[in-house]
A and B are shown apart, each in its own frame.
Chain A
Amino acid sequence: MSQLTPAIRVLEHSLMVYRRTWRGSLFTTFLAPVLFLAAMGFGLGTFVDKGNPASLGGVAYLVFLAPGMLASQAMQTASGESMYPVLSAIVWMKTYTAMVATPISTRAIVIGHVLWLTVRLTLVAAVFVLAMVVFGATDVLHGLLMIPVGVLTGLAFATPITAFTATQRTDNAFPAITRFIVTPLFIFSGTFFPISQLPALVQPLAYLTPLWHGVSLARAIALGNVDLGLAAVNLAVLVGFIASGIGLAFVTFSRRLVQ
């Protein structure tokens, strides 16, 4: 067995489950964001574009909004996948408990979960990019480049949340994560309007969140104005969150499952 084999077995488990449950996630992960994009991009966009705001960089609101929505959507999907399903695998259904009784280690479980999220986020981002191409918000080439940005943005949230979930005994804390982290970031991290519109005091806060970096990078690709220095910072922040999240999850999973 190679080092990665046990983690791939964990991924296989998720895929086997997804084969049974994918229908249930159709609306929330595929249809809803596309509808949202249509409503905001075309509906709201019509009004925004009439004002012809310079801060949008001279593009239609739909074109400005769509890359941000892609990153936000990835954040939401990945966060959701790292709360209830992970807690269930530890506390309710005990899937992970069953796994650690086999040659699968806690580290392999963490890596396997990250692999699964990568697959899932790639799917979500690909569907979203397809919608963007259909709506004329981007072209195929730029769209394809945005997919990995969506995946990295999602993982930057998912890995620390996964580490946190492994410390929990109940789902009590999850609504707070959604209410106080995921939703505010969705609104204030540059998805709907440039953060230059935020009060100057609050702006630096946005730079601390992985979502802004994901939005910034995706949008730069979409608008074709990538600044290599900024893009490198964006990537470094995303990768930094992912690496720390995985490191933390190694610790919390081991403490929880092997004691």
Chain B
Amino acid sequence: MPNGEAPPLIHARQLTKRFGEFVAVDGIEFDVASGESFGFLGPNGAGKTSTMRMIGCVSPLTSGTLTVLGKDPATEGAAIRARLGVVPQEDSLDMELTVEENLIIYGRYFDLSYSEARSRAKELLDFVQLSERAKDEVEPLSGGMKRRLTIARGLINEPDLMLLDEPTTGLDPQARHLLWDRLYRLKQQGVTLVLTTHYMDEAEQLCDRLVVMDKAKIVAQGSPRQLIDEYATKEVLELRFPPGAQASLDGRLDGLAERIEKLPDRLLLYTSDGDAAAVAVHERGLRPEQVLVRRSTLEDVFLRLTGRALVE
């Protein structure tokens, strides 16, 4: 829970969204404090985007309570949106305009003067390292560049709250790291970030606090470290056996770990000492094709909570 006297930037109680019979968000509750970096982690279809759209005041809630920046989205949507920066899941850049024009016209939507919009566009292009492309068309930009431009666009009104829906999905590792670096800088500047992701490494990199969503509900919340401590062990031993061999192991690994997860292609042994467990496996005469000892991640937390992998 947020500390201090400042009221939360987002306050949600029993927040629910239904589309006909389908329940997209089922009575979730959370608060986001000013300056915080808050994440929704979960697989596709968990209700993350529906939640983000309700916070962004472009989707009325079915029931429950939601306040954003202390206001009610139902009655003060435009006033809330004036102070939000939104980076949607799918790019919505204007292909008929230049890079720079995309930012300037977006600034106009927030009632900036042309000269103000132009000068902010210049600064922001610098910030997202796209200055040399200012006069170019948007279409030929790479996926990573388009995302950076979308982030710059979301910053044109100097928002109090930035909503990022899967900011790095579909990007190559280099582009993701550049994007993370920019988002981290924003966080350092005190911008409140709310993001959704199905990448646990992204959540670990960027989120002070996160909720794990599955099937329209929040199944756990805390800092990445807390979640790992609570729902996983310190280390994980991954064993990969030849095809078919995994099924015939029944019972031979018993007692080697606190918990064993069977995935289709490998076994995960949750233990405080992965190396010791690996030695013990060997002593029992088992010969896996691959042995890997690693630290637990949010992926393991998710597996524990839902019995399924995040990205399949």
Q: A: which residues have CB within 8 A of B?
A: 1, 5-6, 9, 12-13, 16-17, 20-21, 93-95, 97-105, 257-259
B105 touches A16 (CB 8 A): yes
Residue from A5, A95, A102 whose CB has the most chain B CB atoms within 10 Å: A102
CA distance A8 to B18 in the complex (A): 34
Number of residue pairs across A and B with beta carbons under 8 Å?
70
- Which residues of chain A are within 8 angstroms of B79 by Cβ–Cβ distance? 103
A94 to B88, CA, bound (A): 11
A sample of 19 cross-chain residue pairs with beta-carbon separation below 8 angstroms, ordered by A number, consists of A1-B111, A6-B109, A9-B108, A12-B105, A12-B108, A20-B96, A20-B97, A93-B92, A93-B96, A94-B88, A98-B88, A100-B58, A102-B110, A102-B157, A103-B79, A103-B82, A103-B110, A257-B58, A258-B58
| Chain B interface residues (CB < 8 Å from chain A) | 19, 56, 58-60, 77-79, 81-82, 84, 86, 88, 90-97, 101, 105-106, 108-111, 153, 157
Q: B88 touching A101 by the CB < 8 A rule?
A: yes
A85 to chain B, nearest CB (A): 10
CB neighbours (8 Å) of B86 from chain A are 101
Q: Is the CB of B109 within 8 A of A16?
A: no
Contacts A5-B111, A102-B106, A103-B82 given; does A16 touch B101 at CB 8 Å: yes
Nearest CB in chain B: distance from A59 CB, A: 43
Q: Which residues of B lie under 8 Å from residue A100 when comparing CB positions? A: 58
User: In the bound complex, do residue B95 and residue A104 qualify as a contact, i.e. CB atoms below 8 Å apart?
Assistant: no
The 6 closest A-B pairs by CB, nearest first: A94-B92, A102-B109, A98-B92, A101-B86, A103-B78, A103-B82
16 further A-B contacts with Cβ under 8 Å, apart from A13-B94, A104-B109, A105-B78, are: A9-B105, A9-B108, A12-B105, A12-B108, A16-B105, A20-B97, A94-B91, A97-B88, A98-B88, A98-B94, A98-B153, A101-B56, A102-B82, A105-B77, A258-B58, A259-B19
Chain B nearest Cβ from A74, distance in angstroms:
24
CA distance A6 to B82 in the complex (A): 12
B residues near A21, Cβ cutoff 8 Å: 96
What chain A residues lie within 8 Å of B108 (beta carbons)?
9, 12-13
Chain B nearest CB, measured from A64 CB (Å)? 39
A93 and B81 contact, CB distance less than 8 A: no
A9, B106: Cα distance in complex, Å: 9
Q: B81 to nearest A CB, angstroms?
A: 5
Q: Is the CB of A97 within 8 A of B92?
A: yes
List of A residues within 8 angstroms of B78 by Cβ: 103, 105
Which B residues touch A98, using CB under 8 A? 88, 92-94, 106, 153
Contacts of B97 in A (CB 8 A): 16-17, 20
Q: What residues of chain A lie closer than 8 Å to B95, measured between beta carbons?
A: 93
Is the Cβ of B90 less than 8 Å from the Cβ of A94? yes
Interfacial chain B residues near A13, Cβ < 8 Å: 94, 105, 108
Question: Which residues of chain A are within 8 angstroms of B58 by Cβ–Cβ distance?
Answer: 100-101, 257-258
- Closest A residue to B19 by beta carbon equals A259
B111 near A101: Cβ-Cβ < 8 Å: no
Chain B residues with Cβ below 8 Å from A103 are 78-79, 81-82, 109-111
A72 to B310, CA, bound (A): 57
CB pair B59–A95 under 8 Å, yes or no, is no
Which of A20, A95, A105 touches B92 (beta carbons < 8 Å)?
A95
Cβ distance B102 to chain A, nearest Cβ, rounded Å: 9
Q: Report how far A97 CA is from B59 CA in the complex, Å.
A: 12
B109 touches A9 (CB 8 A): yes
Given the interface pairs A94-B90, A105-B78, A259-B59, the reply to whether A99 lies near B96 with Cβ below 8 Å is no
A17 and B108 CA atoms in complex are apart in Å by 14
Which residues of the partner chain B approach A20 to less than 8 Å between Cβ atoms? 96-97
Smallest CB-CB separation from A99: which chain B residue?
B109
Closest CB-CB distance, B49 to chain A, in whole Å? 12
Whole-angstrom distance between the Cβ of A28 and the nearest chain B Cβ: 17
Contacts of B77 in A (CB 8 A): 105
The chain A residue sitting closest to B111, CB to CB, is A1
Contacts of B106 in A (CB 8 A): 98, 102
Chain A residues lying within 8 Å of B90, measured Cβ to Cβ, are 94
In the complex, residue of chain A having the shortest beta-carbon distance to the beta carbon of B96 = A17
Measured CA separation A113–B86 after assembly (Å):
23
A12 partner residues in chain B, CB cutoff 8 A:
105, 108
- The chain A residue with its CB closest to the CB of B157 is A102
Contact: A17 with B81, CB < 8 Å?
no
What is the distance, in angstroms, from A252's C-beta to the closest C-beta of chain B? 16
How far apart sit A21 and B97, CA to CA, in the bound complex (Å)? Answer: 10
A99 and B86 CA atoms in complex are apart in Å by 11
CB distance from B123 to the nearest CB of A (A): 19
Using Cβ atoms and an 8 Å threshold, which residues of chain A touch B84?
101
Residue of A nearest to B17 (CB): A259
B15 to chain A, nearest CB (A): 16
